[in-house]
Amino acid sequence: MTRERSDGETPDGETAGELATDGGTVDDVALDPWGSSTVSDYRKLFEQFGIEQFDEILDSVPDAHYLMRRGVIFGHRDYRPVVDAMVNDEPFAALSGFMPTGDPHIGHKLVFDEIIWHQQQGGDAYGLIADLEAHSARGLSWDEIDEHARNYILSLLALGFDPEEGELYRQSTNREVQDLAFELGIEANFSEFAAIYDFDGETDVSHMQSVVTQMADILYPQLDEPKPTVIPVGPDQDPHVRLARDLAARVSFFGVTEAYASFEADPAERELIGEAYDTLSERHPEETIRCSDAATHLENEREPGATDVEATTLDTAITLLKEAGKEPLRPRTRIVVRNATDEAFEALIEAVEGEKRVYDAHIDTFDLTKTEAEQIAREVEIENGGYGFLPPSSIYHRFMTGLTGGKMSSSIPASHISLLDDPDTGYDKVKSATTGGRETAEKQRELGGEPDECPVYELYAYLLAHDDDELAKQVYDECANGERLCGDCKEQAARLMEQFLENHQEKRDEWADKLDELDIEFDSDRR
């Protein structure tokens, strides 16, 4: 089985049944958390938004979930700290939210499964109902929200979420989340929201407020203790993750960067200065490298054909170095004051041991690595009343293709299977689904089917094969080789779906009798 690709090709050098290594086939894409954007080429997300390929860390994930193994989870943002915590049996958390605008369906099951798997791996698990967002961004009434919230929670529990070991909550009733959202809102502004979310003068204030509430949700698992936290989402939610990472840094007391001299440089300028330092150090290992030496080196190494941005960056770096003159160029770790009180800064000065230089608004340490400096700064922040948030991580799964082709949509019943559908209805929807088969059985046997283009094959890979990689591989190979015809394949899938829905709804019924025992309200008293 290969990872599903929407361009119909198999990566070079692979045979049917092997895992692909990239995200498959993105046209220019604007990721919209409230829109209906689709992604046709996931690889462009790596280039445009800095999402990292999940296969690069797959081997380090203990007991990797089948969605990871099959490439359904295709990307991540800074997931390594979470993996390290799993491996080292250290605290970590997983959180995702569900906007109760309709029935939970098999597309939502991906996120349910990811939260539950992280809980089973030892993480603190959080499932939240984004009811404030549903009311402000989608205009649902509170009665509708209450009904849908109950159904989402029931399915999450039926799939294996342990409420005694995890936390379930609604945005509207969690005072800690709302208080944190207020504090985070101080660091955000309308211009930023307009740039990220395309908000304009017609956007209501409650919608904007729901954004900072989501930022608070993402950071909520770290309120009592900073720890690596992963947010499993579809790629359309990446703007939320990026903003949350920015806000986590903005509310921090300190920031930690690498530096080479007493002046400040941005990352691009710092990279050029670092390259100059490394080159000159190799050429003159016994000599003190000075800023003016690096300026001369960069001028001499100037390459023709540079872009305007590259040329401007180079000019700025050279200017900074020239102004520093004979100051020695020397790598150091810099801890910069952001929101620290005077008392916290004094505590930091005492906490940083070894050779250091203390300035009005930063400390340069020559003995600490960046990681060591971050840990010390975080400890000082927490001891002095700060949050000490770690940047939240994220993992990204593919959108499921609708059963009728195109995007799976809650507003198109035939395109998805609700977790509340009668098993017979689920069976019928699968039997009526579009496939990646050829026009005739003869062509299918001759040319093979196109499982990479098939919504029914996705059902096997995403859900029906469950943890059985061999079954998913068998379905893929038999289809691609022409041994499997669509009628028999859909019949098998329909039966498996029918059985899944029967089992799922039995477990939902069991949990329905125990909902009153949970610490979550389903009947809102809001108007």
In a 3-state reduction of DSSP, which class is residue 229?
Answer: strand
pLDDT per position as a tens digit, 446-505? 999 999 889 999 999 999 999 999 999 999 999 999 999 999 999 999 999 999 999 999
pLDDT at position 323, please?
97
Quote the distance between the C-alpha of residue 495 and its chain's center. 33
Q: Is the pLDDT of residue 303 over 90?
A: no
Q: Is the pLDDT of residue 86 over 50?
A: yes
SS (H, E, C) 351-418: HCCCCEEECCCEEEECCCCHHHHHHHHHHHHHHCCCCCCCCCEEEEECCCECCCCCECCCCCHHHCCE
Instruction: State whether the Cα torsion 7-9-14-15 is positive or negative.
Output: positive
Strands of 110-176 (E only): list them: 124-129, 167-170
User: Which neighbouring-strand residues pair with 95?
Assistant: 126
pLDDT per position as a tens digit, 241-282? 999 999 999 999 999 999 999 999 999 999 999 999 999 999
pLDDT at position 416, please?
87
User: Which neighbouring-strand residues pair with 396?
Assistant: 75, 233
Instruction: State whether the Cα torsion 279-281-285-289 is positive or negative.
Output: positive
In a 3-state reduction of DSSP, which class is residue 230?
Answer: strand
Query: Are the C-beta atoms of residues 38 and 53 closer than 8 Å to each other?
Result: no
Residue 178 buriedness (CB in 10 A; 0-12 / 13-18 / 19+): middle
Structural domains in the chain, sorted by start: 43-252+391-397 (3.40.50.620), 255-383 (no CATH), 413-517 (1.10.240.10)
Q: What average pLDDT is seen over the chain?
A: 89
Separation CA 448–CA 14 (nearest Å): 17
